[in-house]
Amino acid sequence: MGRRNALLITIVSIAVLVLALRGVASVFVHFDPALAPHKGNTKYSSIYNHKDRSLGEPVFNDEHIAGGIVDTPGDIVIDSSELPLSSAPGSGFNTSDNVVRMTISDLSHGNLILVNHDYRFDIPVDQDLVRIYDHKTPSFRLDVNTHLLAPHVIMPLNDMMDSFYAQTGHNTVAVISAFRGLSRQQYVLNEHIAIMGSAEAHRWVALPGHSEHHTGLAFDLGFYSGGRLRTFTGTGVYAWFRDNSYNYGFILRFPESGVNITGTYYEPWHYRYVGLPHSYLIFQNDWVLEDYIGYIAEYSQDEPLVTEYNGVVYEIFFTSDFEIFIPLNCEFDISGNNTDGFIVTMWR
Ligand SMILES: [Zn+2]
């Protein structure tokens, strides 16, 4: 090996080492102790003062894409086999190893990650997303065919929309916004600032990095009437979603009753996937996700929250351990909370 080659290898090695260390450093940014103040309490600081909350009538969707109706194409074959039931880092049925080992990046992975004005979500480079258009049933619509969601959210979305259509006869509901990247979020924010000014815009639209739309777990609804896309107010026949979405793992993320906690105005159109039985517990208790994450933090593996939904008994608890013991022959799902630990759900 020539001297030049040796020098080259040395330079490349140093470059790789520097990059690796930078990667490690960025991972440890998650461990800001200021991000872990809420274990055991349900009070979340809001950066907004909502005493003066005259909503007026700017209740429009938080994205404006001009476009026609996109129906499911004629003979689409919906291949559900490609769609996983869960994308959690630790989930499945335990038949061998009793311990599931989590990583730091798993903290911001899973159905229960908290993303809000206080807690940022860094979009992973390998984020798994699929086009709703390619997998949807004909029971609902899209305003454009490019909307993306996490793969495991598609089946519950289809199920919810199919039920709504079967029960009401309306196939007028549309998903009008789903995954958004950082630049798209900035665009939506700028659009609102131009219309209503900065202060008001920030109560409707999250800063880039702080929107649930980055996670692939959230979407906004609209509906078509008279050939036009309308603002989803969640009233009349569409109140069905508020009252029934929990059966499919979804929550109305920004209810009117939660404005002081979420720091975001009432958004009747914005739904978030959290999975069952969490959506059921949140709905039954009239909570918002912030409440729920704080509530679960009180429960440990020794004394878990035990709840029953649809004949299945679930044990739910919080742990800050990265090695999680799962009993044999137990189904489980583990989600990071995007701050300081994991929420473990086990059932048989
Ligand atoms: Zn939204």
Say which CATH topology domain 32-347 has: Muramoyl-pentapeptide Carboxypeptidase; domain 2 (3.30.1380)
CA of 263 to the centre of ligand 1 (A): 14
Put residue 300 in one of left, alpha, beta given phi > 0 → left and psi -120 to 50 → alpha.
beta
CA of 211 to the centre of ligand 1 (A): 8
CA of 73 to the centre of ligand 1 (A): 26
- Residue at token pair 């009793």: 98
CA of 99 to the centre of ligand 1 (A): 37
Ranges of beta strands (E only) in the chain are 90-93, 99-101, 130-131, 141-142, 148-149, 173-177, 218-225, 228-231, 250-252, 270-273, 305-309, 312-319, 323-325, 331-336, 342-347
- Distance between CA 291 and CA 256 in Å, rounded? 14
297 contact partners, CB below 8 Å, separation of at least 6: 38, 39, 40, 318, 337, 341
CA of 237 to the centre of ligand 1 (A): 20
334 near 342, Cβ under 8 Å? yes
3-state class (DSSP) for residue 271: strand
Provide the token pair at 332: 């489980």
247 contact partners, CB below 8 Å, separation of at least 6: 160, 163, 276, 279, 280
pLDDT of residue 32: 31
CA of 88 to the centre of ligand 1 (A): 22
CA of 250 to the centre of ligand 1 (A): 13
Divide the 348 residues of the chain into consecutive groups of 10 and give the mean pLDDT of each group: 57 52 39 31 28 30 41 46 63 78 94 96 92 97 97 97 98 97 94 94 92 97 96 97 98 96 95 98 98 97 96 97 92 95 95
CA of 69 to the centre of ligand 1 (A): 19
Put residue 319 in one of left, alpha, beta given phi > 0 → left and psi -120 to 50 → alpha.
beta
- Distance between CA 110 and CA 107 in Å, rounded? 8
- Distance between CA 214 and CA 129 in Å, rounded? 11
Quote the Cα angle for 296-318-254, to 5°: 40
Q: How far is CA 121 from CA 56, 117, 321, in A?
A: 30, 10, 21
Provide the token pair at 20: 């690796």
Catalytic residue positions, numbered: 267
pLDDT of residue 121: 95
Per the omega criterion (within 30 degrees of 0), is the bond before 73 cis?
no
CA of 269 to the centre of ligand 1 (A): 7
- Has this prediction a pTM greater than 0.75? yes
CA of 167 to the centre of ligand 1 (A): 25
- Distance between CA 23 and CA 26 in Å, rounded? 5
Tell me the HSE value of 199 on the side-chain side, using a 13 A CA sphere: 5
